[in-house]
Structure 1
Amino acid sequence: MKTTKRKMTLWLLAWPIFIEQFLQFLLGAADTLMVSRISDDAVAVVGFSNQLFFALQTLFMTIASGAGILIAQKLGSKKREEARVLGIMAVSVSAAIGLLLSVILYWKPVEIAQLLNMPENLLPLAEVYISIVGGGMILSALMAALGTAIRNTGNTKGPMYTAIGMNVIHIVLNYAFIYGAFGFPQWGLTGVAISTLVSRLLASIFLYWLFIQSFDQRIKLRDFKIFDRKLFKEILHIGWPLGVNSSCWVFTQLIIFTFIAMLGSKELATRTYMNTLESFCFLLGFSIALAVQIQIAHLFGAGRTKEAYQGAYRALLIGLGLVTVNAFLVFVMGKRILGLFTSDQEIITIAGSLLLLNLLLQPGKMLNMALGNALNAVGDTKFPMWTAIFSMWLIATLLSYYLGVEWGYGLVGIYVCMIADEYVRGLLALWRWRERKYLKRAEAEQQAGVLPTNGAVAFE
């Protein structure tokens, strides 16, 4: 597969990403549903542990995300060997970080759970789940690096097919180990952990097979010794602000959940159900945002700055239309859908007011995602980082505590702060994109003969 000849239309990039993300969402929902058949304690352990794993993933996603943007830029500017080296380094460094995390999580699961204040009665289950799934964190690191590299060559279908296979295998193995089906032993939560590990291992093998043939020159095992300091500095230059940005989101969300827990179990359950409903709006917009990041990075690398600039607005308009329609459908049908999950009328009533606020939330998210990813695509990653530090911590977190908890507005108050955070970051990203700072710099370098004036990738 020769990456530089692949068409980079927004639709061709976006639809496989959407299916991949949607399947990941279904995997989480199916996991929760199946684990609930074991016990409520098992569900609590899985949910808590997954929050921990997600937080730790920001360590290697920093490298993978930075390398992914650079791969797209280098391919756009016809620097194909540099793109290949970036992919190799992203995989090897991410794997090293993942291996270190695997060792720590495997050997110290109880100590880590205690450090995070997990209830004593859950520690035996946590020891099993964290040691097995956390012990395979290297597989998560490999999947992140391999998938990101492949996706940024323009091949978004490969990771999608991988996600389909991984989901099917994981659900089948979950069923087998939880219920003792197909002659398998009934291993409960241990079986769920093993199922997760096996499905990720098989997914990593398939992604590796795709990765080694994703560039003009096939990648061999000995190539993983390659380490280019100059290119790695470029990864860190783009990647560390992305890591800070992601960390801000992960940790502020954890803190906001503790605020909601202060309000009561009904509010916490309502927020959990609303997360599920919001995902139907969020995933499609998120897929458009990821696709436009890949497209703009290629265009930027090819020196086609005007097309890159306009491409962000085109994706934004498409995304706004899609998420607004989805949010309206959720608003109209939300209470009926919630009735499938719970019969508690208090929860359904609380959610009713949030469904209206979701109509305001989703366009703000789309504005933030589309233009934030456009800035990332051209290497302007520090600006979104600083806006995230300011807005996520002061508006989404601190203000939500006062409005939601101290001043008694509850979940509605917290949602209002979440909406304000999205629009503040989105409007700041819009202002920054309209400045065209990095695009103007690239145009000046292009006129000076430093950058190419055309690329080898077809765009629409």
Structure 2
Amino acid sequence: MIRKEKNMSLWMLAWPIFLEMLLQFLLGATDTLMVSHVSDDAVAVIGISTQLFNAVNILFAAVASGAGILVAQKLGARKEEEARIVSIMGLKICIGIGAALSVLLAFGAEPIANLLQLSEELQPLGKTYISIVGGGMVFMAAMVVLSTVIRNTGDTRSPMYAAIGINVIHVLMNYAFIHGVVGFPAWGLTGVALSTTISRIIGTIILVVIFRKSFQKRFSWTDIRIFDRPLFRETMKLSWPLGVGMSSWCFTQLVIFTFIAILGSKELTARTYMNTLESFCFLVGFSIAMAGQIRIAHLHGSGKDQVAYWSAYRVMWIGLSLVLVNTLLLYGFGNEALKLFTSDSEIVSLGVSLLAVNLLLQPAKMLNMALGNALNAVGETRFNMMVGLVSMWVIAVGLSYCLGIWMHWGLYGIYAAMILDELLRGVLVLFRWRAKKFIVKSDAKEELKNATMVF
């Protein structure tokens, strides 16, 4: 059913997203914590492999994001059947891409592990983990598009409930597969990979059941044949810049991780632990930004552009406040938190020294995320893409190498480059939003429509 306007408020959308993201964060932290009891080498493999999976996920995540934005806009304009068709096409495309990636990762794990610059002692673990988790990428593709579409209909609670069930199952399987309980062998890192893939299969089944009830007209298997060329063009118009931008971010992160791998396994492990802890910093802010994108897309679709414009600033200030509080909390308790993951004093010392730098990184990320998502919501995905391509490759990657490797600043130089990249992109999207280009375009379209009607 179509969501009522009262359910499209920022907080009503945000709190289920927050709980879902919190569960995902806890799942990632639990994974890292459980694997840390196996070895620090296993943690390093998960860290760099996650960057790889994030990069390949982009192909279907971009289609899902474009479809989700268009679904929200169509529902805002009270065009539910068009929204439903967009969601079905997005699902078919993502599953196709996910299936192709699954085959590639399952059978190409060895050369991929070599490309990631994994050290000789990490190679066997890397091949196993990449082949198993990568082989189930099609289920990740299905989960991404299904949860994205469901959220953009205004139903942010159902993906949250699904996440609860999936995470509980995953943690239980992790424990059983890693340590060998309830009759299972002690598989270690292989057990984590199997647990991840099985959880995603179960998650896909749950989300398909929810998706079938997301629109007034139920999904049926005959809908697989649906294809609407104009709506496909609209979806791709939003999706391809998102795909390029998101791919750019993930591949730059992957390149930066290879720089860190060059520094050494301790630096790579420390960065993996920091990734887990940093997720806590912007968890609430990210949820607010995602909720803001859904709300702004609905408002833009319904023609309420001035309300959408000011909503973005509310999202930005709320997000910045929450991120700053969370970052300060992490700064205060980070030492104890890191000791939960490892007893290696060198890794703990390195991680603690980066917590102060994190006070600058996370607010810059929040500024970029809040207003960047707002621009995506109103269809300005190309601007974000162009800004991201230049800044991420020149500043984030280029400076990371210069400061971190060439000038021997190590992780501190890499963090400095990431801060400058996030800050530059944040300032540029702020100026773009203040220009109100999307309102000017909407007014021009309305004037053209009125003139045509008069004629």
1:91-131 deviation per Cα after TM superposition (whole angstroms, max 9, x unaligned): 11111111112222333333443454445555554444333
Compared CA separation, residues 289 and 49, structure 1 to 2 (3 A): same
Counterpart-to-counterpart distance in 2, 1:237 and 1:447: 23
Looking at structure 1, the residues matched to 95 and 76 of structure 2 have their Cα atoms a distance apart, in angstroms, of 27
1:295 to partner: Cα distance: 0.4
More deviation, 428-437/53-62: 53-62
Work out whether residues 305 and 443 of structure 1, in 8 Å CA contact, stay in contact via their aligned partners in 2: no
Q: Can you give the 5+ residue segments of structure 1 that lack an aligned partner in the other structure?
A: 451-460
Measure, in 2, the Cα distance between the counterparts of 1:17 and 1:78: 24
1:290 aligned residue: 290
CA contact (8 A) 1:3 1:215 kept: no
SS of 2:282's partner is helix
1:299 counterpart residue number: 299
Task: State whether residues 378 and 439 of structure 1, in contact with CA within 8 Å, keep that contact through their aligned partners in structure 2.
Answer: no
1:89 Cα offset (Å): 0.4
- Report what 1:453 is aligned to: none
Post-superposition Cα deviations, 1:207-234, rounded to whole Å, max 9, x if no partner, equal 1111111112111111121011111111
Cα deviation per residue 1:358-399 (whole Å; 9 max; x = unaligned)?
222222111100000000000000111111111111111212
Write out per-residue CA displacement over residues 341-361 of structure 1, whole angstroms, 9 at most, x where no aligned residue: 445555444444432222222
Greater Cα shift, 406-415 or 95-104: 406-415
CA contact (8 A) 1:303 1:446 kept: no
- Equivalent position amino acid for 1:193 in 2: A
More moved, 6-15 vs 35-44: 35-44
TM-score of the pair, normalised by structure 2: 0.92
**CA distances 1:207-266 after superposition (whole Å, capped 9, x unpaired):** 111111111211111112101111111111111111111111111112222333444444
Equivalent position of 1:456 in the other structure: none
Residue matched to 1:454:
none
The 1:188–1:364 alpha-carbon spacing in structure 2 relative to 1, beyond 3 Å, is closer
For residue 70 of structure 1, what is the amino acid of its counterpart? Answer: L
1:14 deviation in Å?
1.1
State the shift of 1:11 in Å.
0.9
78-87 vs 176-185, which moves further: 176-185
Q: Does the C-alpha gap of structure 1 residues 258 and 96 become closer, same or farther in structure 2, counting only changes over 3 Å? A: closer
Q: Write out aligned runs for 1:25-424 (5 A).
A: 25-119=25-119, 122-424=122-424
Identity of aligned residues (%): 58
Structure 1 equivalent of residue 453 of structure 2:
none
Could you say which residue in structure 2 is the equivalent of 1:458? none
2:425 maps to which residue?
A: 425
Q: Which moved more, 1:385-394 or 1:109-118?
A: 109-118
**CA 1:364–1:199 in structure 2 vs 1: closer, same or farther (change >3 Å)?**
same
The one-letter amino acid paired with 2:300 is F
Cα distance in 1 for residues equivalent to 2:198 and 2:345: 40
Give how far 1:291 is off. Answer: 0.8
Secondary structure of the residue aligned to 1:183 is: coil
**Structure 1 letter corresponding to 2:144:** A
> Alpha carbons of 1:415 and 1:273: their partners in 2 closer, same or farther (altered >3 Å)?
same
* One-letter amino acid matched to 1:268: L
In structure 2, distance between residues paired with 1:346 and 1:190: 27
Q: May I ask how many residue pairs the two structures share in their alignment?
A: 450
Residue-by-residue CA offset, 1:64-115 (whole Å, 9 max, x unaligned)? 1110100000100111111000000011111111111222233333344345
- d(CA) in 1 for partners of 2:355, 2:131: 39
Is the Cα contact below 8 Å between 1:4 and 1:76 reproduced in 2? Answer: no
Verify the 8 A CA contact 1:323 1:363 in the aligned structure 2: yes
TM superposition shift of 1:449: 4.3
How many Å apart are 1:180 and its aligned residue? 2.5
CA contact (8 A) 2:51 2:253 kept: no
Number of the residue aligned with 1:445: 445
Q: What's the C-alpha RMSD, in Å, of the aligned pairs?
A: 2.2
Cα distance change, pair 357–177 in 1 and its aligned pair in 2 (3 A)? closer
Return 109-118 or 377-386, whichever deviates more: 109-118
Tell me, in whole angstroms, the C-alpha distance in 2 between the residues paired with 1:70 and 1:428: 24
Which TM-score applies when normalising by structure 1?
0.91
Name the amino acid aligned to 2:94. Answer: S
Offset, 1:138: 1.1
Kindly provide the amino acid, as one letter, of the partner of residue 207 in structure 1: L
Cα distance per residue 1:294-318 (max 9 Å; x no partner): 0000000000001000000011111
Secondary structure in 1 matching 2:214: coil
Aligned-pair CA distance for 1:48:
3.7
- Alignment CA distance shift 1:257-1:189 (3 Å): closer
User: Could you list the runs of 5+ residues in structure 2 that have no partner in the other structure?
Assistant: 451-455
Please say if residues 18 and 287 of structure 2, whose CA atoms lie closer than 8 Å, have aligned partners that are also in contact. Answer: yes
Letter matched to residue 80 of structure 1: E
Letter in 1 for 2:137: M
